[in-house]
Amino acid sequence: MEAGSATFLRLLLSFLLICLASAYSQQPLDSAEIPPNFALDMQTAARLRPELLAQSVPATGRYAAGRLVFERLLAQLPNSPGPKFAWQLRIVEDGELNAYASPDGTVLVESGLAQLAGASTGLWAAILSHEITHVVRRDWARRYLYQRSLENSRATIVLGDPGLPSASWADSEKLSADMGRFCRQLEIEADRNGLVLMARAGYHPDFMPALHHLLHAQSSGTPAKSLYAMHPCWEERDRELGRAYVDASLEFERLWPAWYASPGGNPPIVVFAEQPTLKKVGSQWELQIPMRCQNLAGAVEVVVRSGSLQENSLPPDAADPPDPPSAKSRNRQLPNELRQLTGCTSPRTTVTFELADTHSRSKPGAEWTDIYVLDAWGAVLARADVPRRAR
């Protein structure tokens, strides 16, 4: 995509439902009812639609799996009164890892994310069920109305305290905190309803955490390039979504007793590292990595590295080719990594690594930074940070 149109697309995105929410709260959502005559969301979407279509391509060819899943999910939606949506799945070919929805039912997936989902219908279901839910719940309208209500209440306060500049500053802080909380809650709700939607359509709810861990693994080291990376990871969502996840799993098992024959097939391997700990034992450091394992029949490989897989941190004179995040470097330990296989004998297994004080003479003092979990084919399932050493 040329630079000008990419900039234009960025501008358009501010109209779509994207919440860059960092605030976290367990408070219930302020109820923002949508008045029956409210149509600004649909009008805005109609105005933007030609531009969005011009900036994207239909989900055909290599993205056909996505379209198939999209149709299956839509078939599960009940007929309800309210606006009629013009459902369409589009791909934005910019290599990024986002997905978003326009209020009229245009769902856009950026090509980096589309390629990450690839042929996995279950991963597509995790992406699309969330976006479809945003549209059906009219979250764009809810966010708009909530923002307006905040601005109105702020105007009153500022008028009441004209002589206090700090009051209006503190107030705008609070406004964005409130907005962040509201957006955060919209995201949780979209996940919650999305889990049920995908389960009913025949995609195991485990594809949702699998997707979140894959995305988290992509965001290593670099500032969040993806909107998904701005979202909290599954470990944090877990607490909020625990009940919904169990309910969706039960619903899936009821409707699809033969998992392998469901549209999404067997549930994916969900293996990831929880908060690792590092402690000094003699002249060595001991890194303990508590693993959470679901649906694992074989083994996974845990890799501790200095530097992420994205940034190749091999010394320049290394004879080996750069190691890709794939099976090619399997069974071959590079100087900047340690590897260990685990079969996860229980859903919670701890893997321990002994780390020398400096890992490599060619890069003295370099730190072990990243933990990767690889499946049997060497594909990355999850990533975590090595805690920093106390000096």
For the chain, count helices (H), then strands (E).
10, 12
Closer residue to Zn ion, CB minimum distance, 190 or 271: 190
Q: How far is the CB of 351 from Zn ion (least distance, A)?
A: 33
Residues 31-70 close enough to bind Zn ion by CB under 5 A: none
Q: How far is the CB of 101 from Zn ion (least distance, A)?
A: 8
- DSSP labels, 126-151: HHHHHHHHHHHTTHHHHHHHHHHHHH
Residues 190-209 close enough to bind Zn ion by CB under 5 A: 190
Closer residue to Zn ion, CB minimum distance, 191 or 206: 191
Q: How far is the CB of 130 from Zn ion (least distance, A)?
A: 6
> Among residues 153, 232, 220, 225, which one has the least CA distance to residue 191?
232
Closer residue to Zn ion, CB minimum distance, 107 or 296: 107
Q: How far is the CB of 36 from Zn ion (least distance, A)?
A: 25
Closer residue to Zn ion, CB minimum distance, 189 or 337: 189
What's the rounded Cα separation, in Å, for the pair 29 and 189? 10
Which range, of 189-197, 205-213, 341-349, 368-376, touches Zn ion by CB under 5 A?
189-197
Residues 168-187 close enough to bind Zn ion by CB under 5 A: 187
Contact 212, 382 (CB under 8 A): no
Closer residue to Zn ion, CB minimum distance, 130 or 339: 130
- Burial of 169 from C-beta contacts in 10 A (0-12 / 13-18 / 19+): exposed
What's the rounded Cα separation, in Å, for the pair 45 and 82? 15
Closer residue to Zn ion, CB minimum distance, 244 or 302: 244
Q: How far is the CB of 324 from Zn ion (least distance, A)?
A: 31
Contact 125, 97 (CB under 8 A): no
Q: How far is the CB of 331 from Zn ion (least distance, A)?
A: 40
Q: Are strands 99-101 and 337-342 parallel, antiparallel or unpaired?
A: unpaired
Site residues (vs Zn ion, CB under 5 A): 187, 190
